[in-house]
Every structure is written in structure tokens, then in C-alpha cells.
């Protein structure tokens, strides 16, 4: 028991990082969040400042322009941003976990030297194109194809819900595609899925108009169409045929950072609700003096603490090179449910003010639903957890 708790202790350097990002979130991000939410545009000036703080390069080695920190540090940064704005937090989380990490983990030295320096500096963003209209959790239904012709991959298909794919500074989108098929012993066909790097602006790659989303208005999300997109054979990322398996590994890592995002949302809602309950007066007394309100906030605190511990448990195991698949899914499940519940309770405590987009609580209430869907739905997390326990879920 003692060893477990010791492992979750933050270093002084990590604490200073969290404090720095918290101050940045409160003084730079929060005051501008509603304006950019209304405009439904990515605040490139703030993205640049995040790059100057080194946030995009946190878990990457210095030889590629990174900060040489660990995954725990990334989680701390994502959590602090998410307290005040989910859109910018997911821009960082997806940009690192889905856009950059696959290149860092499985790219050739040439690929890493070409793409990572601008990405780690925040001068560019990258996305990962897995999801399709009929394929997401069920990657076997992927229809996008990539055929090797005269030393080039010729890619045809479409992708859906791709984050960071259409910004002014998007430099790269990694695409999963069917690069071949094989026949199993029972006669069924197995698709060979591979990951291929597609630079932004490649002829044939069309970034379709962004979605009219319920929330995450500032986050960049587009469908993509690929019509005879040609890239060099050397743009294969990792081994041919291991595109989906490699992505699952990246997704496990991404779920840890996503859990940190959810934890930040839960914390932000808790802080706002507690502040309001202590200052809002009704019938001559603060609403926080009512036991129901006080108990509601107490439950919000308990949810937030449970989410944070689950997230840190997964993050520390990841950083230590220990197995963390089970812990990642538990963290994502617990933290997303905490965020949704806390957003609901905070909105209720604020009353009519909790239904306004100008109020961060209102935006959290609206934004939080996607937390139960993104980077693996609640049902997928339950399936992963059950399988780790030996059940055929």
C-alpha cells in the first residue's frame, strides 16, 4: 500500500509545471475562451503561446525539439487546460497522443526529423485518420484502400471526425488504409491495415467543411476525402499490416491523457460550483449552507479525486514502462463519468446561469457528452476491462 501511494507522488518539477499551466489557463485561456467558442475558430495566438511554453513537446526527447519530460507531465498540462476550456485541452491531447506519438514511436529517423521539430514547437499540428462512416471501434470494416503503384501509395477513401485535420497549421495526417488481404484457414478474408503519412495539401486530399458540433466549438474537426492521393512508399509508418495494432497501442496512451482531460473538467466544475455556492445568497443565506448543495459538492469532490487517482495510476505505470492497458481504460471510464456528472451537478447549482454559453459551467455541460465517446466509448472501455479480467466481452 505504501509503495502504491509513493508512486503517485508528483515531483517538485511536475508540481511547478502544473502551477505554470494553471496560471496560463486562468490568465490567458479562460478570458478568451468564450470569444473563440462563439467564433468557432482555433485561437492560433494561444496555440503559439502553448508552443512557447513547451506543452506540445513535453513527452518527447530533446533531439526532436521536445522537453524530455514524461507522460505524467503531459497529463498535468492537459488537466489544467481542461479546467477552463475543453477545446484547447483536446487540441493538445489529440495533437500529441494521436498526431505526434505514432510518428515518435514508430517512425523512421528521417520521418521523425522531418515532422517532429515543428510539431513539438507548436508551429504545426497533426491528426490521425482512423474513423470512417462504418469503421471506428470496428476497424475491420475500414474501406479506405492504399495500393502500392510504382513506388507510391495510391490512397482512396474517406475519414470522419478527424481532429486537427483542417487547421491553418496542420502539417500531417496519418491515415489507416487497407493495403492487402489474406485468406484465413476457415476461408474468411482478413484485411491488412497499414498506417501511411499524408502531408497536408497533398493533391487529392480534400478537407471537407467542419462539423456543426454540439460542443468543442474551438476544436478543429473535419471529414476527409481521399481521391487518388499519392505519397511515396517511404511514407509507410511502422510495419506494413500493423497499422491497427500500432494504433491500439497509441490509443491506450491517448486514453491516459484523455482521462486527464476529463479530470480537469471535473475539477473545473467542482471549483466553479463551490465558489458560486459560497457567494450566491437566496432567502438571506448562501445556497451552500443548504445540506443538499453541500453534499452535492462533496460528491463532486469525491468523483474528482477518484478520477485523478485512476488517471495518475495509469500515467505513472505508462511512464515507468509497466503494463497499463487495464488502468488506461479504467481511468478513461471513471474520469469521463466524473466529468459528465460534475458538469450536470454544477449546472444545476448555477440554475439559469448554468445554461448560458458565456458561463464555463454551461460550456462544460454542453461539451462533456463527447467525453463518453471520444478515444473509445464507455462501452468499449467496459469491453476492454472485462477482457483484461478474462471475460469474453
Supply the mean pLDDT for the chain: 94
Per-residue pLDDT at 187: 66
Per-residue pLDDT at 2: 31
The whole-angstrom distance between residue 246's C-alpha and the CA centroid of its chain comes to 17
The CATH number for 58's domain is 1.10.540.10
The CATH number for 329's domain is 1.20.140.10
Q: Is residue 393 one of the residues assigned to a domain? A: no
Q: Indicate whether 5 pLDDT > 60.
A: no
Residues 114 and 184 in one domain: no
Q: Is residue 180 one of the residues assigned to a domain? A: yes
Choosing from 95, 123, 151, the residue where a domain stops is 123
Choosing from 241, 256, 271, the residue where a domain stops is 241
pTM assigned to the model:
0.95
Residue with cell 449546472: 347
Active site residues: 375
Per-residue pLDDT at 9: 86
Residues 92 and 145 in one domain: no
The CATH number for 189's domain is 2.40.110.10
Residues 233 and 259 in one domain: no
Least confident of 10-14, 83-87, 189-193: 189-193
- Domain, as residue range, for 46: 2-123
Residues 214 and 116 in one domain: no
Amino acid at each position: 500500500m505504501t509503495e502504491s501511494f509513493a508512486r503517485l507522488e508528483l515531483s517538485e518539477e511536475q508540481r511547478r509545471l502544473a502551477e505554470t499551466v494553471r496560471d496560463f489557463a486562468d490568465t490567458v485561456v479562460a478570458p478568451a475562451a468564450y470569444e473563440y467558442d462563439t467564433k468557432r475558430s482555433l485561437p492560433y495566438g494561444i496555440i503559439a503561446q502553448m508552443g512557447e511554453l513547451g506543452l506540445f513537446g513535453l513527452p518527447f526527447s530533446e533531439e526532436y525539439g521536445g522537453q524530455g519530460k514524461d507522460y505524467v507531465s503531459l497529463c498535468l498540462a492537459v488537466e489544467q487546460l481542461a479546467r477552463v476550456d475543453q477545446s484547447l485541452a483536446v487540441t493538445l491531447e489529440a495533437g500529441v497522443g494521436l498526431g505526434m506519438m505514432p510518428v515518435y514511436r514508430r517512425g523512421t529517423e528521417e520521418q521523425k526529423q522531418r515532422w517532429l521539430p515543428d510539431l513539438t514547437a507548436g508551429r504545426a499540428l497533426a491528426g490521425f485518420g482512423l474513423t470512417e462512416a462504418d469503421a471506428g471501434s470496428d476497424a475491420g470494416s475500414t474501406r479506405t484502400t492504399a495500393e502500392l503503384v510504382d513506388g507510391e501509395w495510391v490512397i482512396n477513401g474517406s475519414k470522419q471526425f478527424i481532429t486537427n485535420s483542417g487547421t491553418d497549421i496542420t502539417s500531417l495526417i496519418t491515415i489507416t488504409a487497407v493495403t492487402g488481404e489474406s485468406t484465413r484457414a476457415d476461408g474468411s478474408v482478413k484485411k491488412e491495415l497499414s498506417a501511411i503519412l499524408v502531408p497536408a495539401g497533398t493533391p487529392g486530399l480534400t478537407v471537407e467543411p467542419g462539423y456543426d458540433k454540439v460542443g468543442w466549438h474551438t476544436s478543429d474537426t473535419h471529414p476527409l476525402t481521399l481521391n487518388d492521393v499519392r505519397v511515396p512508399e517511404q511514407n509507410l509508418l511502422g510495419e506494413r499490416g500493423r497499422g491497427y495494432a500500432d494504433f491500439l497501442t497509441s490509443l491506450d496512451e491517448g486514453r491516459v491523457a484523455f482521462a486527464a482531460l476529463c479530470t480537469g473538467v471535473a475539477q473545473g466544475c467542482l471549483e466553479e460550483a463551490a465558489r458560486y455556492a459560497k457567494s450566491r445568497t437566496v432567502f438571506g443565506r448562501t445556497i451552500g449552507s443548504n445540506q443538499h448543495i453541500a453534499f452535492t459538492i462533496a460528491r463532486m469532490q469525491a468523483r474528482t479525486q477518484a478520477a485523478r487517482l485512476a488517471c495518475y495510476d495509469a500515467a505513472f505505470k505508462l511512464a515507468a514502462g509497466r503494463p497499463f492497458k487495464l488502468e488506461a481504460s479504467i481511468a478513461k471510464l471513471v474520469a469521463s463519468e466524473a466529468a459528465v456528472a460534475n458538469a450536470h451537478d454544477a449546472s444545476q447549482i448555477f440554475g439559469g446561469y448554468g445554461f448560458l454559453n458565456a458561463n464555463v459551467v454551461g460550456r462544460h455541460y454542453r461539451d462533456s457528452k463527447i467525453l463518453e465517446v471520444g478515444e473509445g466509448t464507455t462501452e468499449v472501455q467496459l469491453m476492454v476491462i472485462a477482457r483484461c479480467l478474462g471475460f469474453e466481452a
